[in-house]
Amino acid sequence: MRGKAHRMVVVVALLGALGIAGACKRPTEERAPSGRATDAPAGAEVRVAPVEGLRIPDEALVDQDGNAVRLRDLMAGRVVAVNFVFTTCTTVCSPMTAVFRRVQDGLGNSMEREVRLVSISLDPATDTPERLKRYADNFGRRAGWTFLTGERERVLRVLRALGGYAAVKEEHTPVTLIGRADEGRWRRVHGIAPPDRLLAEIRGAAPRGAIAVEAAGR
C-alpha cells in the first residue's frame, strides 16, 4: 500500500508539471486529505483569464445535505469560487479539493458572510448527497462551502454554462471560476492554483477592503 500511495503522489506531481489536464482515472472510493500528497504540485502551470458573457443558470440542484438549492440564490450577493470534481477521482480532484480546504481556512470569518465556495460534481449519477457529504467531511467542509449534485440533465446544463463540462469526466481540466454573479464579472483560473493565488483572486473580486484574507491554512 505504501508503494501504491507513493506512485500516486508521483503521478499527481508529473501531471501538474506537464500541465496535463484531467487524468482522474482508475476510480476508487473517496479519500481523506493526507498532507502534502494532496497539495498543488510544485511548478504546476496556472493561467488566469477573464470570462465574458457568463450567465448563472437558474437551476435547482441538491447539496451535500440533500437540500434543494437554486444556484442563483446560492451565488447572490457574494464572491463565489467554483470548482468541478467527483468523488471517485483519484488524482487531480483531491488536490483541488484540498486547495479549497486551505482557501476556506484562509478566508476565516469571511466564509459564508462574504464568500462562498462551491464544488459541483462531474458525476451526478454516482455522487449522491450522501457520498458528497462523506467526501466533504473528509476535507473539513464548514458553512460557506457547498457541494452540489442533482438530476443529471440539470447538472450538465450547469456544467456547460459555467465551463466545467467534460464529455469524459476522467479527462476534465482543473478549473476554478471566481467572481460575483450580481456584477457579472468572472475570471477563470486554469490549473491547480495554490491557495494563496486563489485567495488573491477572491479578494480582487470583492469590493475594496470587504474581505480580510489570512494566510492560507496549512
Query: Phi/psi at 135 (nearest 5 deg)?
Result: -65, -45
Identify the pLDDT of residue 214.
57
pLDDT band at 173 (very low <50, low <70, confident <90, very high): confident
Does residue 135 register a pLDDT over 70? yes
Tell me which range, 7-11, 12-16, 91-95, 210-214, is most confidently predicted by mean pLDDT.
Answer: 91-95
Confidence of residue 45 (pLDDT cuts 50, 70, 90): confident
Q: Rounded CA gap, 108 and 143, in Å? A: 11
Task: Tell me the domains of the chain and their CATH numbers.
Answer: 2-26+44-205 (3.40.30.10)
Instruction: Please report the pLDDT score of residue 209 as a whole number.
Output: 55
CB 60, CB 154: distance < 8 Å: yes
The whole model's pTM is what?
A: 0.81
Mean pLDDT value of segment 181-196: 94
As a 3-state breakdown, the chain gives helix, strand, coil percent values, each rounded to 5, of 35, 20, 45
Which pairing describes strands 175-180 and 68-70: parallel, antiparallel, or unpaired? unpaired
Q: 87-108 burial by CB neighbour count: b if 16+ within 10 A, else e?
A: bbbbbbbbbbbbbbbbbbbbbe
pLDDT of residue 93: 96
Sheet holding 175-180, edge to edge: 47-51, 185-190, 175-180, 79-85, 115-121, 145-149, 60-63, 68-70
Handedness of CA 30, 31, 32, 34 (dihedral sign): negative
pLDDT at 100: 98
Per-residue pLDDT reduced to its tens digit, 62-97: 999 999 999 999 999 999 999 999 999 988 999 999
Q: What's the average model confidence in pLDDT over 31-37?
A: 40
Provide the pLDDT for residue 207.
80
